[in-house]
C-alpha cells in the first residue's frame, strides 16, 4: 500500500487527486467540531454516557455524539437511505426498472436517495434532540433549528463524499467513515498507553492485544480479497460477417459479498432494547437487560452471532439472483463446463453461493465476538471494533485498487502515445 501511494505521488494528476481528497477529509473533520446552536451539552452528555447505541453511531459517523456538533449524525442518514432504496429497488418494480436503465437510471435513483437523506436526516435529528433533551429552551423553534442544522450537516457530509467521488480518489462516503474510524483509533491507542503507564493493564496484555489485532487485520484482508471463480465457456457464433464468442471467462463470487451490513443490522437491533430501557432506568425491563443481556454476556454474543448469520443470508438472497445470471449466460451462448444450461446452471450457482455465504457469515460472526471475548478474558479493549476494523481495511484495499488501476491506465496511455 505504501509503495502504491509513493508511486501515485510521483504522477501529477494523481497527486492533485490525493491532495484534493485529503483536503476534503480535513474539512469534514474540522466541521465535526462546529457546535450546534441552542444545545444543552450537559443534558446530552448525561443521556449519552455509557449508551451502547450512541457508541455505535459514533463509530459509524466518526463523530462524538456527546458534543452534538452539526456533524453529530454524519452520514448515518445517507447510509440508512441507501439501504432503504436498495431494499425498495427489489420490492418496487418501477425502481427496479430504473436500476436496469443503466447510467441514467442510477443517476435518478441517486437523486431520490439524496432527497430521502435530507428528509430522513431532519426527522432523525428532531427525534434525537427531543429524546436526549438537547434543546436548552425546549421550544419548537429550538428543536426545529437543531433539526435543520443537523440535517444540513448530513447534507454537507454527503456533498463532500460526492465531490471526492468526482474529483478525488476512492469512494467518498466510505472515506468519510474511514477518517472517523482512524480519528477514534488514535484516541483509543493513547488511552491504552495511559492505562499501561498507570498500571491498569500489563505489558503482556498489550502485546497479546496487538498480536490479535494484527491477526484480525490479516484475516479481514484474506477474506476481503478471496473469491470463488465459476468458469464459463462461450460458444462461437457468427453474426453477419463477424465471429463472436469462443472464449473462456469466469463469474467471480466474493467470499464476503455482504460486507459490513450484517454487522450493522445486528448491532442496531441488539442496541435498540438497551437504548429504550436507558430512558427508564428503574423499570424491570432495564434491570433484566442489565443483568442477563449485557454486551459482555454469553446470551448477547450468541444472539449477535445468530443475527449476523441470518442477515448475511438475507442480504445475499436479495442482491444475488442465480436464475437471472443463468439466463444471461444462456442468452449469450455460454455454459458452465459439465453443467447443463437452464435450471441445472442456476442450481449449481446457488449451491456454490450458499457455501460461500455460510463461510463468510461464520467469519463475520467470529470477527464480531472476538473483541468482547478478549475483554472478558484479558480485561482490555481492542482499539477497533469488528465493524470498524472491517470497514477500515475494506476501504483501504478498495482505495489502493483504484490507485493501482489509475496508474495502470496512465501507463498504457503513455505507451500508446
Encode pLDDT of 168-202 as tens digits: 888 888 888 888 778 777 777 777 777 777 767 77
What was the pLDDT predicted at 280? 66
Q: What angle do CA 160, 389, 196 make, to 5 degrees?
A: 115
What was the pLDDT predicted at 23? 92
Task: Say what angle helices 261-278 and 343-378 make with each other, to 10 degrees.
Answer: 50
What was the pLDDT predicted at 297? 78
Residue 28 in this model has a pLDDT that exceeds 80: yes
Cβ contact 76:127 at 8 Å: no
How does pLDDT run across 267-321, given as a tens digit for each residue?
Answer: 777 776 766 666 666 667 667 766 667 677 788 888 888 988 888 888 888 778 8
Cβ contact 260:394 at 8 Å: yes
Domains of the chain, with CATH numbers? Answer: 1-196 (1.10.3370.10), 202-379 (1.10.3370.10)
What was the pLDDT predicted at 415? 41
Radius of gyration in angstroms for the set of CA atoms belonging to the chain, rounded to a whole number: 24
Cβ contact 365:353 at 8 Å: no
Mean pLDDT of the chain: 79
- Within its chain, how far is the Cα of 319 from the centroid? 16
Cell numbers given for 381: 479493549
pTM over 0.95: no
Please give the torsion angle defined by the CA atoms of residues 285, 288, 290 and 294, in that order, rounded to the nearest 10 degrees. Answer: -110
Tracing cell 467518498 back to the chain, one arrives at 172
How does pLDDT run across 122-131, given as a tens digit for each residue?
Answer: 888 888 888 7
If one compares 105 and 56, the residue with the highest pLDDT of the two is: 105
- Give the confidence band of 417 by pLDDT, cuts at 50, 70, 90: very low
Q: How far apart are CA 71 and CA 155, in angstroms?
A: 10
Q: How far apart are CA 331 and CA 312, in angstroms?
A: 30
Q: Considering only CA atoms, which of 80, 68, 1, 9 is closest in space to residue 34?
A: 68
How does pLDDT run across 32-81, given as a tens digit for each residue?
Answer: 888 888 887 777 777 766 565 666 666 655 556 777 888 888 787 887 78
Amino acid at each position: 500500500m505504501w509503495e502504491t501511494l509513493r508511486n501515485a505521488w510521483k504522477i501529477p494528476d494523481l497527486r492533485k487527486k490525493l491532495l484534493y481528497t485529503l483536503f476534503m477529509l480535513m474539512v469534514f473533520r474540522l466541521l465535526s467540531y462546529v457546535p450546534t446552536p441552542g444545545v444543552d451539552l450537559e443534558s446530552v452528555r448525561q443521556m449519552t454516557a455509557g449508551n451502547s447505541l450512541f457508541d455505535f453511531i459514533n463509530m459509524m459517523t466518526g463523530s462524538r455524539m456527546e458534543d452534538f456538533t452539526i456533524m453529530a449524525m454524519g452520514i448515518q442518514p445517507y447510509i440508512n437511505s441507501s439501504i432503504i432504496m436498495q431494499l425498495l429497488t427489489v420490492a418496487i418494480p418501477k425502481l427496479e426498472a430504473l436500476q436496469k436503465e443503466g447510467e441514467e437510471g442510477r443517476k435518478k435513483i441517486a437523486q431520490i436517495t439524496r432527497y430521502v437523506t435530507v428528509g430522513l436526516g431532519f426527522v432523525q435529528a428532531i427525534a434525537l434532540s427531543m429524546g436526549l433533551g438537547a434543546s436548552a429552551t425546549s421550544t419548537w423553534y429550538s428543536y426545529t433549528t437543531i433539526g435543520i442544522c443537523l440535517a444540513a450537516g448530513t447534507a454537507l457530509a454527503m456533498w463532500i463524499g460526492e465531490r471526492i467521488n468526482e474529483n478525488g480518489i476512492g469512494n467518498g462516503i466510505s472515506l468519510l467513515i474511514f477518517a472517523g474510524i482512524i480519528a477514534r483509533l488514535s484516541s483509543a491507542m493513547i488511552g491504552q498507553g495511559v492505562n499501561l503507564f498507570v498500571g491498569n493493564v500489563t505489558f503482556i496484555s498489550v502485546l497479546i492485544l496487538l498480536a490479535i489485532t494484527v491477526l484480525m487485520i490479516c484475516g479481514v484482508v484474506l477474506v476481503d480479497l478471496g473469491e470463488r471463480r465459476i468458469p464459463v465457456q462461450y460458444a462461437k457464433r457468427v453474426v453477419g460477417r463477424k465471429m463472436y464468442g469462443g472464449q473462456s471467462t469466469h463469474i467471480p463470487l466474493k467470499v464476503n459479498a455482504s460486507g459490513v451490513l450484517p454487522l450493522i443490522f445486528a448491532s442496531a437491533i441488539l442496541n435498540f432494547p438497551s437504548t429504550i430501557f436507558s430512558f427508564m432506568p428503574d423499570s424491570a425491563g432495564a434491570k433484566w437487560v442489565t443483568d442477563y443481556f449485557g454486551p459482555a454476556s454469553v446470551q448477547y454474543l450468541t444472539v449477535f452471532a445468530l443475527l449476523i448469520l441470518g442477515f448475511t443470508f438475507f442480504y445475499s438472497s436479495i442482491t444475488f439472483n442465480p436464475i437471472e445470471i443463468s439466463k444471461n449466460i444462456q442468452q449469450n451462448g455460454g455454459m458452465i463446463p459439465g453443467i447443463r444450461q437452464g435450471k441445472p446452471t442456476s442450481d449449481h450457482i446457488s449451491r456454490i453461493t450458499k457455501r460461500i455465504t455460510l463461510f463468510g457469515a461464520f467469519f463475520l460472526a467470529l470477527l464480531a465476538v472476538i473483541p468482547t471475548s478478549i475483554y472478558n478474558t484479558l480485561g482490555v479493549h481492542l482499539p477497533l471494533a469488528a465493524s470498524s476494523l472491517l470497514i477500515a481495511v475494506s476501504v483501504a484495499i478498495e482505495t489502493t485498487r483504484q490507485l493501482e488501476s489509475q496508474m495502470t491506465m496512465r501507463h498504457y496511455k503513455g505507451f500508446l502515445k
